[in-house]
Amino acid sequence: MRFTLLKRVLVGPPMPLAQARHERLRKRVALAVFSSDALSSVAYATEEILLILVLAGTVALHYSVPIALAITALLAIVTVSYQQTIHAYPSGGGSYIVAQDNLGTVAGLVAAAALLVDYVLTVSVSVAAGVAAVTSALPDLAPHRVAIGVACVAAIALANIRGVRESGRIFAVPTYFFIVSFGLMIIEGFFRLATGSLPRTPPPDLPAVETLTWFLILRAFSSGCTAMTGTEAISNGIPAFRPPESRNAAITLGWMAVILGTFFVGLTVLADRLGVVPVPEETVVSQIARRLHGTGLFYYAIQAATALILVLAANTSFADFPRLSSLLARDRFVPRQFANLGERLVFSNGIMVLGGLAALLLVVFGGETHALIPLYAVGVFISFTLSQSGMVRRWWHRREPGWRHRLAINGVGAVTTGIVTLVIAATKFTHGAWIVVLVVPTLVATFMAMRRHYDDVAEQLSLEGLAAPPELRHTVLIIVGDLHRGVVRAVQYAKTLAAPSVAVRAVFVETDPAKTAKLEEKWARWGLGVPLVILNSPYRSLLRPLVEYLDALQAQGDDHMVTVVIPEFLPSKWWQHVLHNQTALLVKGTLLFRKNTVVVDVPYLLKR
């Protein structure tokens, strides 16, 4: 009762299925729910570019702006490509659906595995980066970053379990607070740059650790591509929008891309003009805000907005991971429990699994953003490439009106994201990307194994080719260890199972002859006419004589069913269970997977 009350307070009352349509999102709320991941990446994408370029010394930092512009151009290509996907798949055009529909099952599973991995990493990286923003402003909290991160993951998971619309309300305010505060900072920065009042501080003269090569620039580019993670989220979540779903989703995706591109390029330009160099104890965003405004109120507002959007960016994954898992469960590639809607009309099992995995990553990697980043973006660009390639094949085969220019758009998207995928995999492989490269095929193999299991179960349960079933013979056995009120109740119950042709017997395994004589005497009075079978056990084993007796009964043919009735008295207090033998549990465990055997537990509840 107390647990139920706590659950109602934390999660809320259950909702009827008819309420699902009213849980749809408006565009403004959907932007907060599905775009927080993509928008939050501007808080660390510029820093990841600079962390690589600084290896070649101070002179290499100026390449950050061209790299940011190249990534923004790639973002535009991907956005237009996904807007086409949204209109082509109004029920949800995620990479899994598109790749499976056009490129086959294996391609679809590769896309799904890559996305699932990326969703888990998104939660871990976003929360770790959000905590880093907090510790930049409050350094005393740095030793507790793992605990803070895990607490944030738990809070976001709980908010999502409460329901889609309710989580949208929770996350809308922080998202728009981030958009407004960062927008004001960038506008002010560019105004001061245009008027010549921007405080220009030359970066320190840092020695080169590596030579500035194309490979180093490509490494910086691949690290900066983390700015594009989360772009696909809207195409996955089309069913969550209010009608007309496709149109609203495409408009929201356009809004998100414009804001993301503007913020990303703006911050990168300001970092370059202000001479910002990445340092372990302070984020690049913190340095930009401090140099523009000092450590006043606006500085702390920027840090708060950064921390909030980064922590809440995990919400995008909490919206998409459960939805993708439910699609895989529907197609029998993951356990069916992932397809079950919870009391609040969300896929609660997927939410809890995602939260657990993300928290585990935070603990394993010590809550370090830069330790998690090398694993990031590989999966999302694999899914980008497969999705766009699938759309190219769709246009080529269907040749609907306007297919040529649509094919050209998705073709450009497929080629560019494919090249970027190779660049990211090659440049980040030795820095941790090998883990993702290994995990994705492992997940695909696991999906296929689960599907084979479900197919095998369906085949064995199918009615096709089933001949007229033979008439079953039935024996009911009551396991007796002593004679008490619980056993009498079980005998009464067993007799109700018996038709005139069904044999009902009580079975007692003898380990002490003296006890047998007393039992037979009481059985004559309280056995209700059911015969008592004594099984001798010279070595005092309970289970072995019972199993041998069952073997002998069922050796008569495959049409012989045996129902084993187990009387069990249950103490009223949980701690009293340890004071009694767990014989019933042992018998149930032994007979659990036995063919043609039904085990029935008849409990007798004690009052005190």
- Give the pLDDT confidence of 495-522 residue by residue, as tens digits: 888 777 788 999 998 887 878 888 888 8
Which range, of 77-81, 237-241, 272-276, 326-330, averages the lowest pLDDT?
237-241
Average pLDDT score over residue span 314-319: 77
How far is the C-alpha of 47 from the C-alpha of 45, rounded, in Å?
5
pLDDT of residue 23: 53
* Domain boundary, last residue among 420, 452, 484: 452
What band does 267 get if pLDDT is binned at 50, 70 and 90? very high
In a domain, residue 479? The reply is yes
Residue 319 has pLDDT above 50, yes or no: yes
In a domain, residue 2? The reply is no
Range of the domain at 391: 19-452
In a domain, residue 428? The reply is yes
Percent of the chain with pLDDT over 70: 91
Average pLDDT score over residue span 195-211: 78
- Do 554 and 430 share a domain, yes or no? no
In a domain, residue 570? The reply is yes
How far is the C-alpha of 310 from the C-alpha of 433, rounded, in Å?
22
How far is the C-alpha of 81 from the C-alpha of 413, rounded, in Å?
6
- Do 446 and 488 share a domain, yes or no? no
- Do 163 and 82 share a domain, yes or no? yes
Residue 344 has pLDDT above 60, yes or no: no
- Which tokens in the block code for residue 159? 């908010």
SS3 state of residue 120:
helix
- Average pLDDT of the chain, as a whole number: 83
pLDDT of residue 456: 92
Percent of the chain with pLDDT over 90: 21
- Give pLDDT tens digits for 88-99: 888 765 788 899
Using an 8 Å Cβ cutoff, are 391 and 88 in contact? yes
Amino acid code (one letter) for 593: F
CATH of the domain at 526: 3.40.50.620
Q: Residue 459 belongs to what H/E stretch?
A: helix 433-461
Which range, of 4-18, 206-220, 411-425, averages the lowest pLDDT?
4-18
- Do 432 and 495 share a domain, yes or no? no
Using an 8 Å Cβ cutoff, are 224 and 48 in contact? yes
Residue 13 has pLDDT above 60, yes or no: no
The pair phi, psi for residue 510, each rounded to 5°, is: -85, 120
In a domain, residue 56? The reply is yes
- Which tokens in the block code for residue 177? 């607070």
- Give pLDDT tens digits for 224-243: 888 887 787 788 778 778 88
pLDDT of residue 252: 92
* Domain boundary, last residue among 452, 486, 511: 452
In a domain, residue 175? The reply is yes
How far is the C-alpha of 217 from the C-alpha of 52, rounded, in Å?
8
Sign of CA dihedral 116, 218, 428, 37: negative
What band does 258 get if pLDDT is binned at 50, 70 and 90? very high
Angle between helix axes 27-40 and 105-137 (nearest 10 degrees) is: 80
Tell me 196's DSSP state. Answer: T
In a domain, residue 238? The reply is yes
Nearest to 223 by CA among 463, 46, 477, 413: 46
In a domain, residue 278? The reply is yes
- Do 132 and 268 share a domain, yes or no? yes
* Domain boundary, last residue among 391, 420, 452: 452
How far is the C-alpha of 11 from the C-alpha of 343, rounded, in Å?
9
Q: Number of structural domains, the chain?
A: 2
Name the pTM for this structure. 0.75
